[in-house]
Structure 1
């Protein structure tokens, strides 16, 4: 074996090792999930920040969406940055709001869902597959931002007076493309109902 062939072989091995270390480094630098607990103000702040950073799409499946601050930020995303915003809510919760409006409830007239509708975001109301059963709900609580960030957890996007609620809630931010894809498939399935 000549010296030039040996040097070429060593260079090829070193290059392959360098590529492996780079790939391993990229894999290890993937974002880890983040969890937030209890404080509605903290959870709301994180959701609003993610909405502000969204550039293309937001898909929301939320059992109960009453948070005006989040609704306003969704409207800003749609109108200001032309982000595609899709919202799915439980039909029973939406009907409850309409019933309150019909009874003259002025607060309900300015609710999050009403505000979204008035600004071109028409939430789809999903009743479970068995329309006759009153005890079935669209009970998801997740959102997908730009197909890159998933939020999921127990937190309904509701408003708590003073920013603090009387419930223990959580959200988890997930950046894993495979997990996000599964949630997107579920969103697409219920969106088509």
Structure 2
């Protein structure tokens, strides 16, 4: 015959296991399927340029920029400074925008920064707006790297450091770079 003491021990163990199991299930339900660390900024005057400048300054190895329109003097200078400290910088922009004799393009040409273009017809635009920093962070959104985008337009940029997302943007940049022209 089984004593009451023999019955309590397995019951206590079962209750403990069930309690831990319930906690794990609750934790799993409360946690999103994927967590993407993100830092979101808006303009006008939301400091997007300041955050891009910080990402450029913090980069140590490579910066790949694919932006439709670049006229920001400060961002252009920061990219040249990054290259001067040994960071590999590549810029991909729209063909028509690169032809415009803007201040940023003059800075890039004077510094011999590699700028390539896409957009071979009136129907085709290189309309991306993203940059990959050291294959660790991507900045993407509606923001062109212009004074108007910073001060007047309603724009956004999200900085992501999820390795899978960063890798996708890096792959897209490589694909575009291979099919671009100088």
Same fold (TM over 0.5): yes
Matching of residue 88 in structure 1 with residue 92 in structure 2: yes
Equivalent-residue separation in structure 1 for 2:98 and 2:140 (angstroms): 21
Q: Distance in 1 between matches of 2:45 and 2:52?
A: 10
Bigger drift between 30-39 and 143-152 goes to 30-39
Q: Deviations over 1:60-95 (max 9, x none)?
A: 00000110100000011111x210000000001112
1:47 and 2:35 equivalent? no
Instruction: Work out which of the residue numbers 112, 124, 138 in structure 1 matches 2:116.
Output: 124
Residues 87-125 of structure 1: per-residue CA shift (max 9 Å, x gap):
000001112x14xxxxxxxxx4xx101101111202101
Structure 1's 184 and 35: CA in aligned 2 closer, same or farther, altered over 3 A?
Answer: same
TM-score by length of 1: 0.71
C-alpha separation in 2, matches of 1:53 and 1:32: 18
Larger radius of gyration: 2
* TM superposition shift of 1:135: 2.2
Separation of aligned partners in 1, 2:177 and 2:114:
12
1:35 is aligned to 40
Structure 1 CA distance for aligned equivalents of residues 64 and 89 of structure 2 = 6
Unpaired runs of 5+ in structure 1? 1-29, 99-107
Which secondary structure does the structure 2 equivalent of 1:35 belong to? strand
Q: Which runs of 5+ in 2 are unaligned?
A: 1-34
Contact kept in structure 1, 2:66 and 2:128, CA below 8 Å: yes
Say if 2:178 is the partner of 1:178. no
- Residues of 1 paired with 2:109 and 2:80: CA distance? 10
CA contact (8 A) 1:40 1:160 kept: no
What residue is the counterpart of 2:22 in the other structure?
Answer: none
**2:144 paired with 1:144:** no
How far apart in 2 are the matches of 1:85 and 1:122?
Answer: 7
Two-structure CA RMSD over aligned residues (Å): 1.7
- What does residue 122 of structure 2 align with? 134
What is residue 7 of structure 1 aligned with on the other side? none
Give the structure 2 partner of residue 66 of structure 1: 71
What is aligned with 1:191? 177
CA contact (8 A) 2:95 2:117 kept: yes
Provide TM-score, normalisation by structure 2: 0.75
In the alignment, is residue 168 of structure 1 matched against residue 159 of structure 2?
Answer: no
